[in-house]
Structures are given as structure tokens and as C-alpha cells.
């Protein structure tokens, strides 16, 4: 039996069926989509190319299953999520391997993804017992006011390709824990780890058929139907601001709740009295982990002119010595997800150098044995950058570190806030108090002092401002998104009316 379970989670397993109503089925048109390993550029799997007909079938199954699931006791909801957590941990090594093949994730990225997903599941398991209502006093004699919390109904989850495991878990697990049914549409690049994997994990629990449904397919073909489906009560999306705006508009047509975590342009501020070595340590991780393909990674380094040269020199040395290559090797930096992403980020670098910045290191692809067109981009450091240059004003989403000199904390704050985004950020200052005072002036949903911006804890709110999103994830913030409150008043004594 153990061998059978292992084979079901291998990249070599059959992943060519959708999961609808508790059954595995082919796409209605019988077509599939190839999944490419970003390291080797080889096709490693095929998944169904779902259609609008498949989407409709998934929502029909979810609506039918949700009412019964909602009425199950909190202990049953909790047990399912605990069993999900157990299945995740049991198959962690296979999932790490899936992440390497599908998302180009290094070993470190895979281990981090497992840790974060487990944290999300553990937090979600506490939610069924926290769905508490309240009694509210009434201004009317003899009236009792009861406010109770109920699930929204059907939650649509559209997940990204960069961290598909944990960013899917943070939406799916709490939605189901709160009594909702889920339609899961994973990114086209990562349809297994961000989608079909979850169906198999939930099969190891007692979750009733139809509560989770997974439809893979091209966003251009079924994305709008998923987001705008009349049976969808919540649309939870993580991805680019451009796509998020469109999906939020589609959800709004049916008055579905949009929970959107979108793009970022996060600043790493280093003051004149900061510990430069510590700031660089944080910067190397915050810029280059998972090739910079993180919405909360460092997009700009705003460094005081008094320590600027030292910072650039040390950051460049560290970047130039980071091992980069295939995610199947022991490297710190693996491949970019696909060539369109790679080409876009390298274009940002080229335009930035043309505008007057200095290329300190990187801006080239790293050869990978047996691959004609490598997706591995060398860690890149740019100095003499200005805030409006291409690699700084755009979310480059790559292993690129544009370093901008600033004269004081006021200029750093001004430049950090000169963007439509407001997701995360970090500050390195001489003491925590000074860093906190700068952090309080930054127009972002999250800021980390004497650290870097990539932080995520399931019991702490995660949200952005401006073009970085709507609503919030983690803890009770996402519980508020996937539930609604109902006011029930009880008139215990006859009430007098004016006519």
C-alpha cells in the first residue's frame, strides 16, 4: 500500500484527469496540456485542458455537496484538515520532488513550501472551533439579538505558479475548514502541485465527495468562466495585479467577494547606521530565494549614500558566488518558470543599463547540461539605479537587485512609497526603534525591521494596500472572507407598534 501511495504522488504518475464530484475524469474535450520542467525544458507530465463544460460540472458538484458539509460538526471539519496535514507531511519528499520538476524549485524552496503549507493547515484546523457568534443587546424591550457566522458557500481558488503548494493551502484549507466547498483552478505552469495534488491529499481524508473540485486548464480559456461563475460566492486569487483587476471585475458581476493578493514592488531600506553585513545577509535571501519569483521579495534596495559603496561591493560579491543551475542539483538559484518571464526580466535589466545604471554582476543565463535554451538567470546586481528605471519601477520578479542611493531616511521613505503597490518591505537601521519609526511611514501592508520582506506566518495577517490587493489572508482575516454573519433577532415579549 505504501508503494501505491508513493507512486500516486510521483511526477511519473498519471495526472491527466480532472477531479469533479469525488471522481477522476478526463476533460470533456479529451485534450491535455503539457507540463514542462523549467530546468531540463522537457515535458514531464500532461494534465487535462479543462473546458467551460467541466467548470460548470465542478460548480454543480460543489453546490450539491456544500450544504451537507456545512452541517457537519466542527470536530469533523477539524479532523479532515488534520488528516490533510498528516498526508502532506507523509508525502513531503515526493512533493518536494514535484516542486523541482514543475516549478523549478530548489531543495530549499521545496522544504520551505512544505513548512509554510503545514503551518497553514495547522492554523486552518483551529478555525472550526473559532467560528463563534455573539449576543448583542437590543434597544427594543424583550428582544434578543444573536449574530452567527456561516460559510459563504462555494469558494473559488485561483492559484499562482511561483509558490503553488503553500499559496494554495492558505486558501483551500481554511475555506473547507469553515464549511465551504471549493473550486480549485491552478496556474497553467503548475497544475499538479497547485491543483491535482490537493485532490489526492484530500482523498486520504474523510472529506465528502464534491467539497473540493479541481479543474486544470488554460486561464485564457476557462479563467473568466471560473471567476464569473454565478455559483461562486468568493473568488480567492493570488497573482499579478493586471490579472487580478480583471478577475475581481468578473467576480463583481455576481457580487462575489474578491480576496486578491496581487503584485508588489517591495523596498529594502538600509540606513547610514545599519549593520551593513546583516543588511546584506538579509538582502541576498530577500532578492534571490526562488530566483526572486516571490511577490514579497526585494524589488528595490534603497541604501544610504554613506554605506552605499560598501553595500554594493558586498552584495555583488555574495551574488556572484551563489551557485545557480538546475533545480535538480544542489544550487541556491534555479530556473525561471518559463522563457517569457525570463526574457521580460532581462529586458528590464537591459533597459536599466541603457538608462545609465551600472551592471555589477549577472544579466546572463547560466548553462545547464543538455539544455539548449537555459532558463537559469545569474543573480544580478545593478548600481547607480534611479527609482524610475525599468528594473526598479516594474515588478521584475527575478533574481535582480537594483540598488538606489538615498541621502536620508526621508528620501528612502519617499522613494519606497512612490509606487502603486503596497505589499511588503523591510528596514535595516541602527536600532529596532529607529527602524520601526521608518516602517510606520511606509505605505505597505507588511514591513519587517532588521529583516527582509519574505515572511509569512499563518496566524499573522497577510495583506497589501493599493494595487497589491483586496482583503486579507491568514488567521481570522481570511476566515472573514470565506464566512458571513447573520443577524437573528428573537422577540420574547409582545412588541408595541405605532400603528
Q: For the segment 283-309, what is each residue's pLDDT rounded down to a tens digit?
A: 999 999 999 999 999 999 999 999 999
Q: What is the predicted pLDDT for the residue at 5?
A: 45
326/244 same-domain check: no
Rounded mean pLDDT of 408-428? 98
Q: pLDDT at residue 2 above 80?
A: no
Instruction: Please give the residue range of the domain that contains residue 390.
Output: 266-449
Residues 197 and 274 in one domain: no
CATH number (domain holding residue 192): 3.40.605.10
Of 427, 449, 471, which residue is a domain's last? 449
Q: Look at residue 478 and tell me if it is in a domain.
A: no
Average pLDDT over residues 446-451: 98
Residue 462 lies inside a defined structural domain of this protein: no
Question: Average pLDDT, stretch 66-87?
Answer: 98
> Residue 134: pLDDT above 70?
yes
Q: What percent of the chain has pLDDT over 70?
A: 99
CATH of the domain at 295: 3.40.309.10
Strand order in the sheet with 266-270: 358-361, 380-383, 400-406, 298-304, 266-270, 425-428, 448-449
pLDDT tens profile 196-235: 999 999 999 999 999 999 999 999 999 999 999 999 999 9
Work out the average pLDDT over 130-137: 93
Q: What global pTM score does this model have?
A: 0.95
Q: Calculate the alpha carbon distances from 447 to 65, 399, 403, 453 in Å.
A: 40, 21, 19, 7
My answer on whether 22 and 160 are in the same domain is yes
Q: Are residues 71 and 51 in the same domain?
A: yes
Cα 304 off chain centre by: 31
The set of catalytic residues is 261, 295
* 85: exposed, middle or buried (Cβ count in 10 Å: 0-12, 13-18, 19+): buried
Q: Which pLDDT score is estimated for 246?
A: 93
Q: Based on the domain organization, do 38 and 182 belong to the same domain?
A: yes
Cβ–Cβ under 8 Å, residues 268 and 302: yes
Whether 272 and 350 share a structural domain: yes
Same domain, 8 and 84: yes
**Same structural domain, 235 and 369:** no
Helix (H) or strand (E) holding 169: helix 164-177
The residues pairing with 349 across neighbouring beta strands, listed in sequence order, are none
- The mean pLDDT of 331-341, rounded to a whole number, is 98
Residue 147 has pLDDT above 60, yes or no: yes
| Section 336-364 average pLDDT | 98
Q: What SS3 class is residue 86?
A: helix
In contact, 227 and 158? CB cutoff 8 Å: yes
Q: Is 447 exposed, middle or buried (0-12, 13-18, 19+ CB in 10 A)?
A: buried
Domain total for the chain?
A: 2
Grade residue 4 by pLDDT with cuts at 50, 70 and 90. Answer: very low
Structural domain ending residue among the three candidates 241, 262, 283: 262
In a domain, 493, yes or no: no
**Predicted confidence band of residue 3 (pLDDT cuts 50, 70, 90):** very low
- Structure confidence by residue, pLDDT tens digits, 39-68: 999 999 999 999 999 999 999 999 999 999
- The pLDDT of 81-87, averaged and rounded, is 98
Instruction: Decide if 381 is inside a domain.
Output: yes
Q: Is 457 part of a structural domain of the chain? A: no
Name the pairing type of β-strands 358-361 and 380-383: antiparallel
Instruction: Assess whether 186 and 49 both reside in one domain.
Output: yes
What pLDDT was estimated at residue 62? 98
Average predicted confidence (pLDDT) for the chain: 96
Residue 7's pLDDT band (cuts 50, 70, 90): confident
For residues 222 and 323, membership in a common domain is answered with no
Query: For 367-396, what is each residue's pLDDT tens digit?
Result: 999 999 999 999 999 999 999 999 999 999
Q: Are residues 222 and 306 in the same domain?
A: no
| Domain identity same for 70 and 202 | yes
Q: What is the pLDDT of residue 1?
A: 32
Amino acid at each position: 500500500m505504501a508503494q501505491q501511495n508513493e507512486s500516486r504522488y510521483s511526477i511519473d504518475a498519471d495526472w491527466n484527469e480532472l477531479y469533479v464530484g469525488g471522481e477522476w475524469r478526463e476533460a470533456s474535450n479529451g485534450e491535455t496540456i503539457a507540463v514542462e520542467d523549467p530546468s531540463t525544458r522537457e515535458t514531464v507530465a500532461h494534465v487535462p485542458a479543462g473546458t467551460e463544460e467541466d467548470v460548470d460540472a465542478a460548480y454543480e458538484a460543489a453546490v450539491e455537496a456544500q450544504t451537507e458539509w456545512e452541517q457537519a460538526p466542527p470536530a469533523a471539519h477539524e479532523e479532515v484538515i488534520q488528516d490533510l496535514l498528516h498526508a502532506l507531511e507523509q508525502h513531503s519528499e515526493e512533493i518536494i520532488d514535484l516542486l523541482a520538476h514543475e516549478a523549478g524549485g530548489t531543495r530549499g524552496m521545496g522544504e520551505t513550501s512544505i513548512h509554510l503549507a503545514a503551518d497553514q493547515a495547522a492554523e486552518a484546523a483551529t478555525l472550526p472551533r473559532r467560528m463563534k457568534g455573539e449576543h448583542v443587546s437590543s434597544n427594543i424591550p424583550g428582544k434578543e439579538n444573536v449574530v452567527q457566522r456561516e460559510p459563504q458557500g462555494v469558494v473559488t481558488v485561483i492559484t499562482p505558479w511561483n509558490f503553488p503548494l503553500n499559496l494554495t493551502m492558505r486558501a483551500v484549507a481554511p475555506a473547507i475548514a469553515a464549511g465551504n466547498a471549493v473550486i480549485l483552478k491552478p496556474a497553467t505552469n503548475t497544475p499538479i502541485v497547485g491543483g491535482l495534488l490537493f485532490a489526492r491529499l484530500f482523498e486520504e481524508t474523510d472529506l465528502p465527495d464534491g467539497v473540493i473540485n479541481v479543474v486544470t486548464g488554460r486561464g485564457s480559456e476557462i479563467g473568466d468562466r471560473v471567476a464569473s461563475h454565478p455559483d461562486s460566492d468568493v473568488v480567492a486569487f493570488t497573482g499579478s495585479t493586471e490579472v487580478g483587476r480583471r478577475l475581481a471585475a468578473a467576480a463583481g458581476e455576481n457580487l462575489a467577494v474578491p480576496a486578491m493578493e496581487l503584485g508588489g514592488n517591495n523596498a529594502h531600506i538600509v540606513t547610514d547606521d545599519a549593520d551593513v553585513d546583516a543588511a546584506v545577509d538579509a538582502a541576498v535571501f530577500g532578492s534571490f530565494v526562488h530566483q526572486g519569483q516571490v511577490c514579497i521579495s526585494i524589488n528595490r534596495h534603497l541604501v544610504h549614500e554613506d554605506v552605499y559603496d560598501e553595500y554594493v561591493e558586498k552584495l555583488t560579491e555574495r551574488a556572484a558566488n551563489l551557485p545557480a543551475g538546475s533545480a535538480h542539483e544542489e544550487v541556491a538559484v534555479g530556473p525561471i518558470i518559463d522563457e517569457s518571464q525570463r526574457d521580460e526580466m532581462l529586458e528590464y535589466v537591459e533597459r536599466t543599463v541603457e538608462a545609465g545604471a551600472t551592471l555589477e554582476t549577472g544579466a546572463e543565463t547560466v548553462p545547464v547540461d543538455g539544455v539548449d535554451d537555459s532558463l537559469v538567470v545569474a543573480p544580478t546586481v545593478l548600481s547607480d539605479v534611479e527609482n524610475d528605471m525599468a528594473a526598479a519601477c516594474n515588478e521584475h520578479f527575478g533574481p535582480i537587485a537594483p540598488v538606489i542611493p538615498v541621502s536620508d531616511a526621508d528620501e528612502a521613505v519617499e522613494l519606497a512609497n512612490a509606487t502603486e503597490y503596497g505589499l511588503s518591505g523591510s528596514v535595516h537601521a541602527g536600532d529596532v526603534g529607529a527602524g520601526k519609526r521608518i516602517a510606520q511611514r511606509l505605505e505597505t501592508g507588511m514591513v519587517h525591521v532588521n529583516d527582509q520582506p519574505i515572511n509569512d506566518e499563518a496566524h499573522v495577517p497577510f495583506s497589501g494596500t493599493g494595487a497589491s490587493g483586496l482583503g486579507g489572508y491568514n488567521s481570522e482575516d481570511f476566515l472573514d472572507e470565506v464566512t458571513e454573519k447573520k443577524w437573528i433577532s428573537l422577540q420574547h415579549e409582545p412588541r408595541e407598534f405605532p400603528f
